[in-house]
Chain A
Amino acid sequence: MNRLQYIGKRLVMTALVTLAVVLLSFLMIRMAPGDAATVMAGQAGYADETFMKNLRAEYGLDQPLRVQLWKYLSAVAQGDLGTSYVRRQPVLSVILERLPNTLMLDAFALAVAIAGGIWLGSIAARRPGSAGDGAVTTLSMLFYAIPQFWLGMMVMLVFAVWLNWLPPFGIETMGADYTGLARAGDVALHMILPGLTLALYYMASYARLTRIAMIEVAEQEFVKTARAKGITERQVARRHILRNALIPLVTYAGLQASILVGGSVLVENVFSWPGVGTLAYEAVIGRDNPLLLGIFIVTSILVSLFNLATDIAYSLVDPRVELG
Chain B
Amino acid sequence: MLVSIQGLTAALPPGADRPLAIEDLSLDIAHNEIVCIVGESGSGKSMTAHAVMGLLPRGVGVTGGRILFDGVDLLQEPPEAMRKRRGREIAMIFQDPMAALNPVVVIGRQVTEQIRAHRAISEREALQQAVDLLGQVGLKDPAALLGAYPHQLSGGQRQRVMIAMALSLSPRLLIADEPTTALDVTTQAQILKLIKKIQAQRQMSVLFITHDFGVVADMADRVAVMRLGQVVENGTVAQILDRPAHPYTLALIAAVPKGASAPLDPAEGTPLLEVRGLSKTFRRGGLFSSRGAVTAVDDVSLTLNRGETLGIVGESGSGKSTLARCVIRLLEPDSGAVLLDGTDVAKMKSGRLRPLRRRIQMVFQDPYSSLNPRQRIGDIITAGPRAYGEDTAAALARATEILRLVGLNPEILDRFPHEFSGGQRQRIGLARALMLQPDVLIADEPVSALDVTVQAQVLKLLDEVRRTMNLAMLFITHDMRVAAEVCHRVMVMRNGKVVESGPTHALFSAPASGYTKSLLAAIPGRGRL
Q: Do A and B bind each other?
A: yes
Which A residues lie at the B interface, using CB under 8 A? 1-3, 6, 220-222, 224-232, 235, 239-240, 243-244, 247, 315, 317-320, 322-324
B114 and A224 contact, CB distance less than 8 A: no
Known: A1-B285, A240-B102, A244-B103. A228 touches B84 (CB 8 A): no
Could you give 15 example pairs across A and B, Cβ below 8 Å? A221-B99, A221-B100, A222-B99, A222-B102, A225-B100, A227-B55, A228-B87, A228-B94, A230-B86, A239-B102, A239-B113, A243-B102, A317-B104, A319-B104, A324-B285
Say which residue of A1, A224, A247 sits within 8 Å of B104 (CB atoms): A247
Query: Shortest CB–CB separation between residue B373 and chain A, in angstroms?
Result: 19
Q: Top 4 closest A-B pairs, CB basis?
A: A230-B87, A221-B99, A230-B86, A229-B114
A2 and B287 contact, CB distance less than 8 A: yes
A235 and B117 contact, CB distance less than 8 A: yes
Instruction: Give the residue among A222, A244, A323 with the most B Cβ atoms within 10 A.
Output: A222
- Which A residues lie within 8 Å of B113 (CB)? 226, 229, 231, 235, 239
Residue B149 CB within 8 A of the other chain: yes
A229 and B287 contact, CB distance less than 8 A: no
B287 and A318 contact, CB distance less than 8 A: no
Which residue of chain A has the shortest Cβ distance to B85 in the bound complex? Answer: A230
Say which residue of B105, B117, B285, B286 sits within 8 Å of A229 (CB atoms): B117
- Which A residues lie within 8 Å of B100 (CB)? 221-222, 224-225
Residue B486 CB within 8 A of the other chain: no
Judged by DSSP, the binding face of A is: helix
Which residue of chain A has the shortest Cβ distance to B117 in the bound complex? Answer: A231
Q: CA–CA, A239 to B94, complex, Å? A: 20
B103 and A222 contact, CB distance less than 8 A: yes
Query: Shortest CB–CB separation between residue B286 and chain A, in angstroms?
Result: 5
Task: Add 7 more A-B contacts to A221-B94, A319-B151 (CB < 8 A).
Answer: A224-B55, A224-B94, A228-B92, A229-B114, A231-B87, A244-B102, A324-B287
Say which residue of B94, B117, B285 sits within 8 Å of A225 (CB atoms): B94
Q: CA–CA, A324 to B55, complex, Å? A: 41
B98-120 with Cβ < 8 A to chain A: 99-105, 113-114, 117-118
- Which B residues lie within 8 Å of A324 (CB)? 285-287
B104 and A243 contact, CB distance less than 8 A: yes
Q: CA–CA, A264 to B92, complex, Å? A: 52
Query: Shortest CB–CB separation between residue B157 and chain A, in angstroms?
Result: 16
B285 and A320 contact, CB distance less than 8 A: no
Interface residues on chain B, number (Cβ under 8 Å)? 32
Q: CA–CA, A224 to B57, complex, Å? A: 10
Q: CA–CA, A3 to B285, complex, Å? A: 13
Residue B288 CB within 8 A of the other chain: yes
B408-456 with Cβ < 8 A to chain A: none
Query: Shortest CB–CB separation between residue B22 and chain A, in angstroms?
Result: 18
A230 and B84 contact, CB distance less than 8 A: yes
Residue B162 CB within 8 A of the other chain: yes
Query: Shortest CB–CB separation between residue B184 and chain A, in angstroms?
Result: 19
Known: A221-B100, A243-B102, A317-B104. A230 touches B88 (CB 8 A): yes
A220 and B87 contact, CB distance less than 8 A: no
Q: CA–CA, A2 to B162, complex, Å? A: 32
B287 and A220 contact, CB distance less than 8 A: no
Which residue of chain B has the shortest Cβ distance to A127 in the bound complex? Answer: B58
B87 and A318 contact, CB distance less than 8 A: no
B114 and A222 contact, CB distance less than 8 A: no
A244 and B104 contact, CB distance less than 8 A: yes
Say which residue of B86, B88, B94, B103 sits within 8 Å of A320 (CB atoms): B103
Q: CA–CA, A244 to B150, complex, Å? A: 14
Which residue of chain B has the shortest Cβ distance to A3 in the bound complex? Answer: B287
- Which A residues lie within 8 Å of B288 (CB)? 322
- Which B residues lie within 8 Å of A320 (CB)? 103-104, 149, 151
Residue B313 CB within 8 A of the other chain: no
Which residue of chain A has the shortest Cβ distance to B116 in the bound complex? Answer: A231
Residue B338 CB within 8 A of the other chain: no
Which residue of chain B has the shortest Cβ distance to A246 in the bound complex? Answer: B104
Q: CA–CA, A102 to B289, complex, Å? A: 41
B105 and A227 contact, CB distance less than 8 A: no
B103 and A228 contact, CB distance less than 8 A: no
Instruction: Give the residue among B86, B103, B286 with the most A Cβ atoms within 10 A.
Output: B103
Residue B91 CB within 8 A of the other chain: yes
A220 and B99 contact, CB distance less than 8 A: yes
Which residue of chain B has the shortest Cβ distance to A226 in the bound complex? Answer: B102
A323 and B287 contact, CB distance less than 8 A: yes
- Which A residues lie within 8 Å of B117 (CB)? 229-232, 235
Query: Shortest CB–CB separation between residue B326 and chain A, in angstroms?
Result: 27
- Which A residues lie within 8 Å of B118 (CB)? 230
Q: CA–CA, A289 to B99, complex, Å? A: 56
Residue B362 CB within 8 A of the other chain: no
Residue B312 CB within 8 A of the other chain: no
